[in-house]
Structure 1
């Protein structure tokens, strides 16, 4: 299916607007399924859905899928009649739609190839590996305690960030459209990014100055704005998991932390949601699905 004229322009305009205002595009809405419907649920996406390192199950398969990832919690929350978790750590948009993904246990077919056409609910977490945000944001890391990399005022860095966001919008839009073509009756829910960074850094877990941390937090707001635009223009819905996780970022106290920094414990992966973060993401998805 061809992308409609103006989608790239719309996405780029959204990036420019969010750079200036750091505001989120309102999520799309859709009517909820009847209470007595049989939900046939498929989860697609990358490690934010798969949940690497959360349990031993995640350490025994090439995609590092865990039973503690938010898809499993959503499946229970909707009382799914069938559930298929196809998410795979490291996946990019093309690995969802048309390109096999190489893993430690062999090649994995494009995720939608295994998605039944009668699926009624799809969740998708995707885009982070396309823009390689950990590598991009690492340019904001200070070299020592109390340091300031000053990425927020680096024109080359800001240019690269804006280009990355402008490029990812059409890719996510095309992914959502491909999912719609494969499962025409499905309710498609795109799950957002963010939650790791708050308004301060913490050496060495997040080695970033407070001022740069605020900018990076805003970068994820921009990213979510682009994702929300892609969802709205493709007939999907967007779930914001970042703004509702204030105070639970990687610099929070361990018992309040939903997202890990660079020094994750044994039951979580660096720069990923931990089990509490997955539970939070599941709650946010279920709030949208049940409304």
Structure 2
């Protein structure tokens, strides 16, 4: 009888609400960033119209893995570092300043930002036009280094780096106890060769443009370390650029085969990147 009463007591304890579930490992999770953070599958969008925020983006896949107590996705296409603290007009709506979602007890923040400060569409536009005139050469590299200075590298170091650094410092101030994860950009181009016109750049410009995105990725990770954030190096994962076949590639070419925008991640990428972030959180 004593054994039976002990068992019944234990069963009663496990039935109490306070013992039903363990506390979540992650409290409030806030996702921040630009289109690389927002997109995934444009057939499954939600939130601010014009942000192209997908339920299959990195943050949503990560939230499904971590089961945070609260999840707020502020990511938005075309966002710049300024839109962390300034509202962004998009399409038919306005995305609030992304840092508005941060509160002092925020537990986790993911961030991908910086590419729109460089204005990659305008930057790469001349490269596509010049490729027609010299498809096997490096007309884009010559254009941006004509005065003996690499103007893209200069802008990355002297304009973009300080902006990313300032964003991360303020993020740390607003969420002092949060684990911050900075996710750099996946490589859009292979190390060698090209796949013109799917990737509309001259053969000799591919290494230069890849290196330029690589510099941006390095800056993102370097500045992350300065504030004690976790860096996830997606750029360093080879074999998933837009020149790879469907299924292998993470970045879609000029004419996408997946439901995402050209030169942006597909949902295969976002799911894989979410797994990388989860692994990084487990090991830090």
| Matched-pair contact (CA < 8 Å) for 2:48–2:93 | no
Q: What is the Cα deviation at residue 209 of structure 1?
A: 2.9
| Matched-pair contact (CA < 8 Å) for 2:26–2:108 | no
TM-score by length of 1: 0.80
- Assess, with a 3 A threshold, how the Cα gap between structure 1 residues 268 and 126 changes in structure 2: closer, same or farther: same
The residue correspondences of 1:101-116 to structure 2 (distance < 5 A) are 101-116=88-103
| Matched-pair contact (CA < 8 Å) for 1:99–1:110 | yes
- Assess, with a 3 A threshold, how the Cα gap between structure 1 residues 212 and 249 changes in structure 2: closer, same or farther: same
Q: May I ask how many residue pairs the two structures share in their alignment?
A: 255
Gaps of 5+ in 1: 1-34
SS in 2 for 1:64: coil
1:37 alignment partner, one of 25, 46, 52: 25
TM-score by length of 2: 0.82
Distance in 2 between the 1:257 and 1:274 partners?
A: 8
The one-character-per-residue Cα deviations of 1:212-267 (angstroms, maximum 9, x if unpaired) are 112211112211121122112222221110121x2221111122221012222361
- Assess, with a 3 A threshold, how the Cα gap between structure 1 residues 277 and 38 changes in structure 2: closer, same or farther: closer
- Assess, with a 3 A threshold, how the Cα gap between structure 1 residues 193 and 38 changes in structure 2: closer, same or farther: closer
The residue correspondences of 1:140-289 to structure 2 (distance < 5 A) are 140-141=127-128, 142-143=131-132, 146-154=135-143, 155-156=145-146, 159-166=150-157, 167-198=159-190, 199-244=192-237, 246-265=238-257, 267-289=259-281
RMSD: 2.2
The one-character-per-residue Cα deviations of 1:147-202 (angstroms, maximum 9, x if unpaired) are 43433344238622112211111111111111111111101111101321112221
Q: Using CA pairs below 8 Å that are at least 6 residues apart, which structure has the higher relative contact order? A: 1
Gaps of 5+ in 2: 1-22
SS in 1 for 2:231: strand
